[in-house]
Chains A and B, each alone.
Chain A
Amino acid sequence: MLRFFSRRLLGAIVILLVISAVTFFLFYAIPRDPAMLACGKNCTPDALEVIRKNMGIDKPVPVQYWEFMSGIVTGRDFAQGSCPAPCFGYSFASSDPVWDTILDRFPTTVSLSLGGAVVFLTIGLGAGMIAAWKRGTLADKVFSTASLVLSSMQIYFVGPLVMALLVFNLGLLDQPKYVPLSEDPAGWFMGLLIPWMVIQIIFTANYTRLSRSSMIEQLAEDHVRTARAKGMSGKFVFFRYAWRGSLIPIVTIFGVDLGSLLGGAMITEWTFSLPGLGKLAVESVEQTDLPMVMGVMLFSATFIVLFNVLVDAAYAFIDPRVRLA
Chain B
Amino acid sequence: MNTLTKEADVPAPRDAGASGAFLSVRDLYVHFDTEGGTVKAVDGLSFDLERGRTLGIVGESGSGKSVTNLSILGLHNPRKTAVSGEILLDGQELTGAREKTLESLRGNKMAMIFQDPLTALSPYYTVGRQISEPYRKHTGASKREAHLRAIEMLDKVGIPNAKLRVNDYPHQFSGGMRQRAMIAMALVCNPDLLIADEPTTALDVTVQAQILDLLKDLQQEFGSAIIFITHDLGVIANVADDILVMYGGRAVERGSVKEVLRQPRHPYTWGLLTSMPRLTGDVNEELVPIKGTPPSLLAPPPGCPFNPRCEYVNHVAGDHSCTADRPVLPPGRGAACHLTAEQKQTFFTEQIKPRLG
Contacts and interface: CB of A to CB of B under 8 A. Distances in A.
A240 B122 CA distance: 10
A221 B118 CA distance: 11
Interface in A303-325: 318-321
Contacts of B231: none
Interface stretch (B104-112, B208-216, B246-254): B104-112
Interface stretch (B10-18, B132-140, B233-241, B311-319): B132-140
Chain A interface size range: 20 to 34
Interface string B122-143: 1111000010011001100000
Contacts of A221: 119
B100 to A, nearest CB: 8
A225 interface: yes
A223 interface: yes
B119 A230 contact: no
A223 B120 contact: yes
A136 interface: yes
B111 A223 contact: no
Interface in A213-261: 221-234, 240-241, 244-245
B73 A229 contact: yes
Contacts of B93: none
Contacts of A240: 125
Given A231-B137, A232-B134, A234-B99, A320 B106 contact: no
B183 interface: no
A240 B105 CA distance: 20
Nearest to A320: B169
A136 B104 contact: no
B106 A226 contact: no
Contacts of A229: 73, 75, 106-107, 111-112, 114
Interface string B143-186: 00000000000000000000000000101000000000010011
B124 A222 contact: no
B87 to A, nearest CB: 15
B106 A244 contact: no
A228 B106 contact: yes
Contacts of A226: 112, 114, 120-122, 182, 185
Interface residues of B, number: 31
A320 to B, nearest CB: 5
Contacts of B106: 228-231
Contacts of A233: 103
Among A136, A226, A230, A244: residue with most chain B CB under 10 A: A230
A318 B105 CA distance: 31
A230 to B, nearest CB: 3
A222 B79 CA distance: 19
Contacts of B185: 226, 230
B134 A230 contact: yes
A226 B178 CA distance: 13
A230 B107 contact: yes
Contacts of B120: 222-223, 225-226
A136 B79 contact: yes
B232 interface: no
B203 to A, nearest CB: 16
A244 B124 CA distance: 7
A318 B134 CA distance: 22
A222 B197 CA distance: 13
A112 B53 CA distance: 67
A136 B134 CA distance: 30
A227 B75 CA distance: 11
A117 B121 CA distance: 33
A226 B106 CA distance: 10
A247 to B, nearest CB: 10
A231 B108 contact: yes
A228 B103 CA distance: 8
Contacts of A234: 99
Contacts of A321: 123, 169, 171
A317 to B, nearest CB: 11
B90 to A, nearest CB: 16
B116 interface: yes
Contacts of A225: 75, 114, 120
Nearest to B74: A228
15 contacts: A222-B114, A222-B116, A225-B75, A226-B112, A226-B121, A229-B75, A229-B111, A230-B111, A231-B105, A231-B138, A232-B107, A232-B133, A233-B103, A320-B171, A321-B171
Q: List the 8 closest A-B pairs by CB distance, nearest first.
A: A230-B107, A231-B107, A231-B106, A222-B119, A230-B134, A223-B122, A229-B112, A320-B169
Interface of A: 136, 221-234, 240-241, 244-245, 318-321
Given A228-B75, A318-B124, 10 more contacts: A222-B116, A223-B121, A225-B75, A231-B138, A232-B103, A244-B122, A244-B124, A245-B123, A319-B124, A321-B123
